[in-house]
Amino acid sequence: MARYTEALTVERGGFRIKVPESWWEFDVRPESRDDSIRRMVDERVRRHPELEKSRDAYVSFLRKAAADAWKSGALYCGCMAESFGGDTPITGSVTVSLVGGRTGSGNPLPTDPAAIAGQLAVKEAKKEGDSWRKVTTVDIPGVGPAARTHGIEDIPVPGDALNRTVRAVLMQTYIPVPGQEGKVALVAGSSQVLDLADSFFDIFDAITSTFRFTG
């Protein structure tokens, strides 16, 4: 799976995060993302000709990940799409969004990790194969406590008129933004490779632990 010892630091306005060097990171804006993805895939295939057979799969996955990230308001989207000898690449993504909300009376929602965790619903699997979700709080080194969910969840397909869902490994960490009432940085990791759920939880946790606010 991913190599944690070779990391690429990505900086955006107000934060930075490290992802494995083998990951893809690209502009998610609609007017430029397709060209960005095409150039990245072309460059990767030139350096690793054995990936040619998976070119279309890489492009399709990365375009969908970029479109979903843009619709969710993400400021950063990083993806892995690696072949380990099989016909289908192993894929996963991490996005960072700045989100906020207000109560019915108009007050900012609390950003205290314990309060956020108290508002997040735990979901128990009633039988094998059901979706599930656990809620915890974690400590991000150099940042502090944060609320987190992780599990196997049915995620709504953005913009789908039929309200379809996709089952995925999902970890979401809610990190309070210093000095901004009601705002949190949401670091979300997801993959549709359910058989590797535990490995992806480890990867997403490792990446999220590198998150830092800047400025």
Task: Provide the pLDDT for residue 203.
Answer: 96
**More confident site: 5 or 146:** 146
Task: Provide the pLDDT for residue 98.
Answer: 86
**More confident site: 162 or 102:** 162
10 has pLDDT over 70 = no
Lowest mean pLDDT among 7-16, 59-68, 81-90, 156-165: 7-16
Model confidence at 5, in pLDDT bands (50, 70, 90)? very low
- How much is the average pLDDT of 94-106? 80
User: Which backbone phi and psi does 211 adopt, to 5 degrees?
Assistant: -65, 135
- How much is the average pLDDT of 18-28? 83
Task: Provide the pLDDT for residue 131.
Answer: 96
User: Do the beta carbons of residue 149 and residue 161 sit within 8 Å?
Assistant: no
Q: How far apart are CA 167 and CA 92, in angstroms?
A: 13
Residue 41 CB-density burial (10 A; 0-12 exposed, 13-18 middle, 19+ buried): buried
- How much is the average pLDDT of 171-190? 92
In the numeric block, the tokens 């990867």 are attached to: 203
Task: Provide the pLDDT for residue 86.
Answer: 64
pLDDT digits (tens, 9 = 90+) for 112-137: 999 999 989 999 999 999 999 999 99
- How much is the average pLDDT of 8-12? 56
Both tokens of 151, joined, read 């599990």
Amino acid identity of 65?
A
53 has pLDDT over 60 = yes
Q: How far apart are CA 120 and CA 165, in angstroms?
A: 20
Task: Provide the pLDDT for residue 2.
Answer: 35
Task: Provide the pLDDT for residue 6.
Answer: 43
Rounded to the nearest integer, the mean pLDDT of the chain is 86
Task: Provide the pLDDT for residue 138.
Answer: 97
With a pLDDT cut of 70, the percent of the chain lying above it is 90
DSSP of the chain:
---TTSEEEEEETTEEEEEETTSEE----TTTHHHHHHHHHHHHHHH-GGGGGGHHHHHHHHHHHHHHHHHTT-SEEEEEEE-SSSSS-EEEEEEEEEEE-B-TTSPBPP--HHHHHHHSPPB--SSTT--EEEEEEEEETTTEEEEEEEEEEEEEPTT-TT--EEEEEEEEEEEEPTT-TTEEEEEEEEES-GGGHHHHHHHHHHHHTT-EE--
Model confidence at 8, in pLDDT bands (50, 70, 90)? low
